[in-house]
Structure 1
Amino acid sequence: MTVAEKEKKKSLIVGGSFLTEAHPLAEIFTPEDLTEDDHDLADTVADFVEGEVVPNIKKLEEGRNEDMVAMLKKAGELGFLAAEVPEAYGGMDLKKTTATFVGEKLIKHAGFMVSLGAHTGIGTMPITYFGNEEQRTKYLPRLASGEILAAYALTETSSGSDAMNARTKAVLSEDGQHYVLNGNKMWITNAGFADLFIVFAKINGEQFSAFIVESAWEGVSVAAEEKKMGIKASSTRMLNLDDVKVPVGNLLGQPGDGAKIAFNILNIGRFKLGGAAVGGCKQALECSTKYAIDRKAFEKSITEFGVIKHKLGEMAIRTFATESMVYRSAGYISAALEDIDFNEQGAAERILKSIREYAIECAMAKVAGSEALDYVADEAVQIHGGYGYSAEYEVERIYRDSRINRIFEGTNEINRLLTVDMLIKKAMKGELPLMEKVQALMGELMGMPSFDFDQDMSLLADEKKVVENAKKIGMFIAGAGFQKFMEKIEHEQELLAMAADIFTETYVMESALQRTLKKAEKDGEEAAELMIKMTKAFIHDSIERIGPIAKTALAAIEEGDALMTMNAALRRLLKHQPVNTVAIRRDVAAAVINKGGYPL
């Protein structure tokens, strides 16, 4: 590594450090930082979706694999399957920020998006990041062009979120030329038509490893299609492996590397899911707005009613905040991966380290994105009223399709637990000064309150204070819980989940704040007026959501006088100046109605 590379590495933001330090605005990526080329590419993808996918949604929903394959092949011909494949193997090698933006445009039909995402993401990325030169040369150009299609086979009946409990077994043949695989994988997206699978199995029942398995090989078969609630256009089947001979050259990485490969690819998958959810929120908001404008009640458009304005405004605000968080995380990951030469010695380890560094942000993106989309999709149905429950309307499908996102890529419950677990582990390794911050904070909160008045008169000064206090609340809960339960805290899952909710809410709050401040700094407050309003509303509503969670958490940790003292400290941190969020949502709704959808 050169001196310049070392200096750049030093400047990379540490994953999870949003809790312990302020990140300069210049280092925060926002959607406004996307280039003209990024927009041109995204527009091309949007044109493809509108021209090819949308007119065929009804046909795709019938679930015939040949229709989905034909659509994916068309996407491949146009280069849309090559987005993140290195140029040397026929790809576009897009940054994660650009790829996130492009991904938003594919969400017009979730079944298509899921199928394409399974191919380009978890199906192709293991070979891109962890394959050797021979494997990349053999498979990546064909995956990038759509000549062959991929799937990812990790889950089993006995190992959903507990991936390491896999029973699929690999045994080296006597001549040392093949690994013989036996087992079953379930819930495999694209299984009905995939040409290759990334399969995880334990060598001799012990070393969890990853293999590239071609569907045409003897012993590979798939079961019937699953009957699903949503994403009906996508293929979901069980994969059966019966004495499948896999050449030793198709082992990804080294024996025992499966966990590193699986979990880091899942990290990317979680992040991508968060980005797709943002696109889904925008789609639901757009179709709701158009419906509400046209729908008349009591001789006027329902957009004139305050309760509908509330819904449209809040849908836009949550979309804005989640979008801010997703692109901030995309910027971190892009910066970490930017200068890695895939063919240099040690590249796989650098890639692993870079992805793992932001595993916390990826988990939070998945949880926040999927739950924001569920909220927006639900409100979209409500705005449609009885028509929202009819399959004749687009919003009915959006509602059904959104539900899987809280289960995909590790359930939201698992991702909540992972968020806190990873923060604690980084702190224990000395990668984050979290324990020091917690100790200082506990002393501050348990002592006499300060009566110094903050004279900060800068833009969104109150909101900055709220965000800082939200960080303190999260660390307060985590610190008190750790002091109480020590190493047994892993058994206090409800407490960990509540701490994760506070951390995630805080990360989203701060991301919206930083995006708005960056916009105002660059283009002036007038240009950022709508963002300022949305940021105010989101942050003040967020701290109100955090309050009950924190109170419940403290009651699970202490009781009696100790609990009273802690609650007194918590009340100080929850104090904030009231904001007229009703008026803000009306203003945001007006912008939504004027734009016919997401107003930015």
Structure 2
Amino acid sequence: MNRLGNFVIKSGRNAYKSDICTRSLASAAAQRKSTSVDPQDDKNRPNYSFVSNIFRGQVESKEMFPYPDVLSAEQKEFTNSLVDPFENFFSNVNNSVKNEENCQIEQSTLDHMWELGCFGLQPEEEYGGLGLNNTQNARMAQIVGAHDLGVGVTLGAHQSIGYKGIFLYGTPEQKQKYLPKVTTGRTFAAFCLTEPSSGSDAASIKASAKLSDDGKHYILNGSKIWISNGGICDIMTVFARTSEKHLTAFIVERGFGGVTSGPPENKMGIKCSNTTEVFYEDVKIPVENVLGEVGDGFKVAMNILNNGRYGMGATLSGTMKACIEKAVNHANNRLQFGNKIKEYGAIQEKIARMTMLQYVTESMSFQIAQNMDSGSLDYHLEAAISKVFSSESAWYVCDEAIQVLGGMGYMKDTGLEKVLRDIRIFRIFEGSNDILRLFVALTGIQYAGANLKELQKALKNPASNLGFLSQEVSRRAMKQIGIGGCNLGTFVAPALKSQADSISQCIDLFGKTVESLLVKYNKNIIHEQFLLNCLANSAIDIYGSVVCLSRASRAVELNLPTAEHEVSLTKAWCTEASVKIVDNLTRTSSRNYQEIFREMKNISKTVCDNEGVNTTHIV
């Protein structure tokens, strides 16, 4: 019986069977091999990304319908055996208030977390980990998010990004050397990318790593800022320039010498998580500590971030659930003007919207996690959308929960003001939402543009491209007369067909709008950020709607006790989302909005030129 089995017994559960654990680990390892492949390595394979394909006005249903259900019975049993110990720890052992007051996690709490296996959820058992796949990991993240986001950031910085590069790209020797240390050896890890002059623009990194004359070491110099776990880590993934054009990832140990940390940052929230600047002065890194290939640092960094973004959605879905429970408890008991406040329409709307946002967030994160476990290589846009949506929805839900509680919500004792402060960082780190919106829009446009270029090329030599041209002309002609467009209705439960038809029409309009903008702006579309945001927001609402249609249809198919409620959530969400989608797409060609965008540019320029508000005082 290993340490996890002992912990389950201590928590009052029966010990899990060792064969269940073994099969779960083997399955997770097999799934992981496929999800660590770089999708850019094979440019000729089909792109199954739902979001990418809607930029062409097409529905790719392979990874959307039916809603995935990847865990075997054994994996579900193994996951459920972890839930009670995790819940018990965060409810009865971890003290989030004391963590914040001390601006650090108590050592006894950290010891408990190491014993529980919190720091090694995904590595295989041979490396000291629990061997969870992405779906199982998401379930654990929900529990963390419901209780303490500061601890969640410490955990995430350690394993979702800190040693994730070793987990995904490490050689057998690197994994054997480092993974046992970070899973059970009580050694913290960190992800060191951001610099004073390079935040979202990772390509502008200045830290350098020069090969020594004897070819045995790289000599690292530079600094990194805002590094979570920066002051407590002994192993870190560091990105530095090995030439003017090449960025490379390295595994760096504090014990190499020349590594120092600044004082902990004084932050708005997540105060118990350690955040510092890290300095590197003539650090000698053995050449065998290159992570991936020399020059592949940017790809390694982006894939580490892409691989872990679903976890943020899962974490925040747990946070939102906890906020909603506090709001509902108050609404059920607070008496005003002769009625419980839950009877008033204004409160009902708040609770409904909060619940809808939680449902969409949870549906997104578990759809992505399960697709990854099924071997998906095309989840990057979906993961970016999940990060944007979940972080903004969590802020809204917590803020509205405070509003439902009124003055009580503003008080520290309720706990919501701490959650609000903790949540704010999630819209910034691991890719700011502003940059990720542009990433979604520009990546999708690039995919659509490649198809448009293929069509333009075919038109120059029609005799040699009759098959392609015939297929394209036929598809476009049928769409013009309302045939052959998107049809999500064939995938959903009958009760949701009307909403599916509305979103299908939105996808058709979305594809036409993208093509129209490409024809109008061509490569200059990259400078039209007002328009790109309209496209990104439309893509977010379309993806959120289709995920809900898929999940609610699964509930109906399985005759789940929550099916009727899930259908109601989906109907309300899709009906409202379709209006927002059409509005955003209409803005891209509206003269009124073009004028608004121009005025906004002028206003911003004037304010910036004057270094602040530029109006005359009334008196």
Please say whether Structure 1 and Structure 2 have the same fold, judged by a TM-score greater than 0.5.
Answer: yes
- Residue of structure 2 equivalent to 1:469: 505
Partners of 1:229 and 1:488 in 2: CA distance: 39
- Residue of structure 1 equivalent to 2:252: 213
The yes-or-no answer on 1:497 pairing with 2:533 is: yes
Match of 2:356 among 317, 331, 336: 317
Partners of 1:419 and 1:238 in 2: CA distance: 30
- Residue of structure 1 equivalent to 2:410: 389
For each residue in 1:267-320, what CA deviation from the matched residue of structure 2 results, as whole angstroms up to 9, or x when unmatched? 123222122121111111112222333333234432222211211121111111
Higher alpha-carbon deviation: 462-471 or 382-391: 382-391
For each residue in 1:551-577, what CA deviation from the matched residue of structure 2 results, as whole angstroms up to 9, or x when unmatched? 2122279989xxxxxxxxxxxxxxxxx
Please say if residues 85 and 92 of structure 1, whose CA atoms lie closer than 8 Å, have aligned partners that are also in contact.
yes
- Residue of structure 2 equivalent to 1:177: 216
The yes-or-no answer on 1:271 pairing with 2:313 is: no
| SS of equivalent residue, structure 1 residue 106 | helix
Please say if residues 122 and 269 of structure 1, whose CA atoms lie closer than 8 Å, have aligned partners that are also in contact.
yes
| SS of equivalent residue, structure 1 residue 155 | coil
The structural deviation recorded for 1:527 is 5.2
Match of 2:133 among 92, 95, 101: 95
The structural deviation recorded for 1:15 is 5.5
What amino acid does structure 1 have at the position aligned with 2:200? Answer: S
The alpha-carbon distance between structure 1 residues 433 and 397, as it changes in their structure 2 partners (threshold 3 A), is farther
What pairs up with 1:340-351 in 2 under 5 angstroms? Answer: none
| SS of equivalent residue, structure 1 residue 195 | strand
The yes-or-no answer on 1:380 pairing with 2:401 is: yes
Match of 1:257 among 292, 296, 301: 296
| SS of equivalent residue, structure 2 residue 118 | coil
- Residue of structure 2 equivalent to 1:529: 564
| SS of equivalent residue, structure 1 residue 35 | helix
Question: Percentage identity across aligned positions?
Answer: 32
Please say if residues 445 and 514 of structure 2, whose CA atoms lie closer than 8 Å, have aligned partners that are also in contact.
no
The structural deviation recorded for 1:530 is 0.6
Please say if residues 50 and 60 of structure 2, whose CA atoms lie closer than 8 Å, have aligned partners that are also in contact.
no
- Residue of structure 2 equivalent to 1:51: 92
The alpha-carbon distance between structure 1 residues 316 and 32, as it changes in their structure 2 partners (threshold 3 A), is farther
Q: Report how many residues are paired.
A: 530
What amino acid does structure 2 have at the position aligned with 1:131? Answer: G
The yes-or-no answer on 1:231 pairing with 2:266 is: no
Please say if residues 190 and 237 of structure 2, whose CA atoms lie closer than 8 Å, have aligned partners that are also in contact.
yes
For each residue in 1:420-471, what CA deviation from the matched residue of structure 2 results, as whole angstroms up to 9, or x when unmatched? 22223344566999999998887677x5778x9x999932111110111121
Structure 1: give runs of 5+ residues left out of the alignment: 338-353, 561-600
Q: TM-score, normalised by structure 1?
A: 0.81
- Residue of structure 2 equivalent to 1:480: 516
Partners of 1:493 and 1:273 in 2: CA distance: 26
Please say if residues 28 and 331 of structure 1, whose CA atoms lie closer than 8 Å, have aligned partners that are also in contact.
no
| SS of equivalent residue, structure 2 residue 230 | coil
Structure 2: give runs of 5+ residues left out of the alignment: 1-29, 40-44, 457-467, 596-619
The alpha-carbon distance between structure 1 residues 444 and 368, as it changes in their structure 2 partners (threshold 3 A), is farther
| SS of equivalent residue, structure 1 residue 216 | helix
Partners of 1:376 and 1:243 in 2: CA distance: 47
The alpha-carbon distance between structure 1 residues 442 and 405, as it changes in their structure 2 partners (threshold 3 A), is farther
What amino acid does structure 2 have at the position aligned with 1:164? Answer: A
What amino acid does structure 2 have at the position aligned with 1:98? Answer: Q
Partners of 1:248 and 1:552 in 2: CA distance: 53
| SS of equivalent residue, structure 1 residue 226 | coil
For each residue in 1:58-114, what CA deviation from the matched residue of structure 2 results, as whole angstroms up to 9, or x when unmatched? 21002444x355433321211222211123312222121111111100111110001
What amino acid does structure 2 have at the position aligned with 1:533? Answer: S
For each residue in 1:343-388, what CA deviation from the matched residue of structure 2 results, as whole angstroms up to 9, or x when unmatched? xxxxxxxxxxx3xx21111111111111111111110111121222
For each residue in 1:483-530, what CA deviation from the matched residue of structure 2 results, as whole angstroms up to 9, or x when unmatched? 110111111122112101111110110110111112212217x75111
Partners of 1:433 and 1:47 in 2: CA distance: 57
Q: TM-score, normalised by structure 2?
A: 0.79
What amino acid does structure 2 have at the position aligned with 1:313? Answer: A
Please say if residues 82 and 120 of structure 1, whose CA atoms lie closer than 8 Å, have aligned partners that are also in contact.
yes
| SS of equivalent residue, structure 2 residue 241 | strand
- Residue of structure 1 equivalent to 2:79: 38
What amino acid does structure 2 have at the position aligned with 1:45? Answer: F
What amino acid does structure 1 have at the position aligned with 2:538? Answer: I
| SS of equivalent residue, structure 1 residue 392 | helix
The alpha-carbon distance between structure 1 residues 206 and 26, as it changes in their structure 2 partners (threshold 3 A), is closer
The structural deviation recorded for 1:14 is 4.0
The alpha-carbon distance between structure 1 residues 306 and 36, as it changes in their structure 2 partners (threshold 3 A), is farther
